[in-house]
Amino acid sequence: MNNENRTPDYFDPWDQGSYRTGSVELPRKRHPLVGFLLVAVVLLMGVIAILGVMNVKLFSQLSQTPDNDMAVSLQIPEHMQAIEGPTETTAATEPLSKDSTITLEGQPNYVENVPQEGGLSLQAIYSQCIDSVVSITTQSSTGTGVVISDRGYIVTNHHVVEEAKQIQVLLSDDRKLQATLVGKDKASDLAVLRVEAEGLVPAVFGDSEGLRVGDMVCAIGDPLGVGLRGTMTNGIISAINRDITTGGRTMTLIQTNAALNSGNSGGPLINCFGQVIGINTMKIGDNMSIAGVEGLGFAIPSVTVKSIVDQLIAQGYVSGRPYLGIQGEEVSQLYQYYYRLPEGLFLTKVVSGSDAQRKGLTEGDILISLDGRQITGPEDLTTVLSGHKVGDQIEAVIFRNNHQYAVTLTVEEAKG
């Protein structure tokens, strides 16, 4: 078949050389099958009409048959009674019986939810704690914080302020304050900020060592950001001393089913007495990228928070944290293929004055292995360091200019 004169299936209506008002094709010859189908349809309609006439005649004959010949006896159960008259009219016009209607009764007086003897109601917990909860905003993240001192100290998560150049704190009374970073600790995911303000309300902290599975708890924070600040959710302690590994480090945390979402990070986990017994840090299904998981949130125990915060306020860092003075990112498979690079950690920063710098490491080097373990990304580096203490010697293999080099690095103490 010649397709040269057919209009293409796609045309550009904005093309100046195109003006389309309809098909310009010559009429096509109809296939004989089309005619046969039309005849079949006509015959079928005729058969249907004949059957209709026969049904009418049959019904007429049945209506003239004596009742004795065609009567059918129906057995009606005793609990069923016949409805006289047209059922449609009765259903539409008769009022509904009283038993069929929904009765709305007055509500009893509200009763506060007291979880156990000596505990506070959820309403009292919120009223007691909300003034100690603050919103934290940086150029790249949002989170929650807890006031720990009337001198302006606030605790939050390390990952909330990790890359912050400026930190803004929003108090419960709507005051907006600029905060300074006192210290942060990646291993525990805790950081301490300070604001210059009066009238701050410090939170009351409880001892997390006394927690039991099943204890009622609640969380207050900013799920999904400041737009929902001050949101309260409740639940129970689901597990204690739960070891969770994330980012190459293992943390011992409190597990709860209280709803936690992005933005709750750094906020308080509160017991039924209004005491902060943990700082919320993560949920499975978020940080661990496991979809469809609910009710698995985690908080840093208050005993850990106290130990870390005291050191951050006193010296700006946590003593004894192993450190090599290097930072990097994973070498992508695309870079490996096109630039013929090995799998490893591409160094994006070598801290001035660190042992790594003194041993000649520079930005652009690729760390292939450390302490005999292959390094594929930042998590591997963190994992290896977590097994060493300050002063240890570690053998590293570096890739540079298509050659590999071995170097011995000394583990130093991180100073924040």
Residues with a catalytic annotation lie at: 159, 189, 265
Query: In the block, which residue shows the tokens 């010296």?
Result: 315
How far is 165 from 178, CA to CA, in rounded Å?
A: 11
User: Can you point out the beta strands (E) in 204-324?
Assistant: 216-221, 231-246, 249-256, 268-271, 276-283, 297-301, 322-323
Q: How many C-beta atoms lie closer than 10 Å to residue 54's C-beta? A: 10
Q: How many C-beta atoms lie closer than 10 Å to residue 48's C-beta? A: 9
How far is 208 from 218, CA to CA, in rounded Å?
A: 14
Number of helices (H), then strands (E), belonging to the chain: the values are 9, 20
Exposed, middle or buried by CB within 10 Å (0-12, 13-18, 19+), for 82? exposed
How far is 40 from 207, CA to CA, in rounded Å?
A: 88
Query: In the block, which residue shows the tokens 């060592």?
Result: 209
Exposed, middle or buried by CB within 10 Å (0-12, 13-18, 19+), for 1? exposed
3-state class percentages of the chain: helix first, strand second, coil last, to nearest 5:
25, 30, 45
Structure tokens at 196: 């210059």
The DSSP string of 67-87 is HHHH----PPPTT--PPPS-H
Cβ atoms of 285 and 257 closer than 8 Å: no
Give a three-class secondary structure readout of 332-392. Answer: CHHHHHHHCCCCCEEEEEECCCCHHHHCCCCCCCEEEEECCEECCCHHHHHHHHHCCCCCC
Cβ atoms of 313 and 182 closer than 8 Å: yes
Cβ atoms of 207 and 329 closer than 8 Å: no
How far is 142 from 221, CA to CA, in rounded Å?
A: 11
